[in-house]
Amino acid sequence: MAETPVDPVLRAESSSQRATFLELFLDLVFVFALTRVSQRLVEDFTTDQRILLSEAGQTLVLFLALWLIWASTAWVTSTLEPEAFAVQGVVVITVVCSMVVAVALPEGFGDRGLIFVVAYLAVQFGRIGFFLLATRGRIIAGDPAAPKRVLFWTALTAVPWLVGGLAGESVLRGVLWSVAVGVDYLGFTLGWPTPRLGRSQYGTQPFAGEHLAERYQQFLLIALGELILVTGITFSGGGGAFTPARTGALGLALLTTVLLWRIYFYRAGHVLPTAIIQARDPARLGLSAAYTHLIMIAGIVLTGVGYELTITHPFGHIVPAWLIAILGGPALFLAGRAGFEFQVFGRISWPRVAGVVLLGATAPTMGRLPLLAVAGTTAGILLGVAVSDLRRSRGRAPEQPAPPI
């Protein structure tokens, strides 16, 4: 990292690695946004089960768009100076437009589809436009064509986004938006390769790895906070009685939240900043960590939906599809966490792999049990993973990161 960057918009070595208050303000919007994802998923699981796959797929598309907004913002504030006026304006635009995206999300494939897509595109075009205006078109040292590349890809995917938003038929909208979000992720991953402009080479400009790692940690805590929020609201709202069964379901939800926190932060989540700094290619590791965190956060949100169903129907008739949330959420988290472990330490986390296998193996036997028993089994498996971590750490020096990248 250069001591005195050529462009004041770029990060200097003296820049703080901590998240700014404006970035934390953005996170508050995404707390609300995740509750909208949970709301939509609960509706997916409690409506006609014959269309569950298509409904859940639609929710996934909306969630992926939401995560890309946050992840790309975290990348911007890790490569540019977050206190610079141009960058602060980018974050403010993201805050405002993301709030509209979140409000429209539950009906994103319904009456609010056009509102959702206009707000999403406003984030993409608005940020680039404001940045170019605030910097008076001044090129960025090290990657002068970056804004043009992003603008090209944004314009490219704006067509299927807008056509899908105008389409009244949800299947066509789903196809077009799936293609659009897939291309958006491809551009972000590859550095927006553009004819005659090439592509951005991640790592060729200042990069605050410690800052990016902290942002991932903070968003995962946001997801855990959302799990507590939605289960607490479900337990206390709706006129439900404080019965032993419902109270037990809430207790399991809190236990699961603690276990997910423990499993994440031991030990890879704790040393992620050091791992990125020590990596041979810090920018590549930071970018790849976005995808493992995406998987873990999706698992946490799905787990929260499972506990909403469990608190509401602790001894009710189980719908087989609900096992996708109650067992699949923790399994998805563990799968992402196993990949994250490899990114940080260059090895496979067998306890997490075993947890995924056990959750999958128990699924066929859970169909006749009450939801409370299924949730208890899931919590028990997560507890086993956490205990194995504790036993592994006894009598040993803390493992140091050894990223393979």
Residue 272 inside a domain? The answer is yes
- Does residue 6 carry a pLDDT above 70? no
Tokens describing residue 307: 């506990």
Using alpha carbons, list the distances in angstroms from residue 55 to 42, 52, 195, 233, 330: 11, 5, 37, 24, 21
- Please report which confidence band the pLDDT of residue 4 belongs to, taking 50, 70 and 90 as the band edges: very low
One domain for residues 36 and 110: yes
Instruction: Determine which of 47-56, 110-119, 309-318 has the lowest per-residue pLDDT on average.
Output: 47-56
pLDDT (tens digit per residue) in 228-243: 999 999 999 866 778 9
Residue 175 inside a domain? The answer is yes
pLDDT for 239: 63
Give the number of domains in the chain. 2
One domain for residues 231 and 378: yes
One domain for residues 110 and 168: yes
One domain for residues 182 and 104: yes
First to last CA, the chain: 19
* Average pLDDT over every residue of 33-45: 95
One domain for residues 173 and 268: no
Instruction: Determine which of 12-26, 196-210, 335-349 has the lowest per-residue pLDDT on average.
Output: 196-210
pLDDT (tens digit per residue) in 343-386: 999 999 999 999 999 999 999 999 889 999 999 999 999 999 99
- Does residue 397 carry a pLDDT above 90? no
Average pLDDT taken over every residue of the chain:
92
- Does residue 138 carry a pLDDT above 90? no
One domain for residues 175 and 214: no
**Nearest 5°: phi and psi at 17?**
-85, -10
The burial of 14, by beta-carbon neighbours within 10 Å (0-12 exposed, 13-18 middle, 19 or more buried), is given as: exposed
Percent of the chain with pLDDT over 90: 81
Q: Which of 52, 87, 54 is nearest to 73 (CA)?
A: 87
One domain for residues 128 and 62: yes
One domain for residues 111 and 259: no
Tell which of 157, 190, 223 closes a domain.
190
One domain for residues 216 and 119: no
- Does residue 15 carry a pLDDT above 50? yes
Domain with 26, as residue range(s), is: 21-190
- Does residue 201 carry a pLDDT above 60? yes
Q: Is the peptide bond before 368 cis (omega within 30 degrees of 0)?
A: no
One domain for residues 275 and 383: yes
Residue 16 inside a domain? The answer is no
pLDDT for 396: 82
Tell which of 139, 161, 190 closes a domain.
190
One domain for residues 139 and 64: yes
One domain for residues 143 and 222: no
Q: In angstroms, rounded to a whole number, what is the distance separating the alpha carbons of residues 272 and 212?
A: 9
pLDDT for 232: 95
pLDDT (tens digit per residue) in 263-280: 999 999 999 999 999 999
Name beta bridge partners: 198: 194
What CATH number has the domain bearing residue 297? 1.20.1410
- Please report which confidence band the pLDDT of residue 3 belongs to, taking 50, 70 and 90 as the band edges: very low
Residue 134 inside a domain? The answer is yes
For residues 95 and 29, is the Cβ–Cβ distance under 8 A? Answer: yes
Report the predicted TM-score, pTM, of the whole model to 2 decimal places: 0.95
Residues in the chain, total: 405
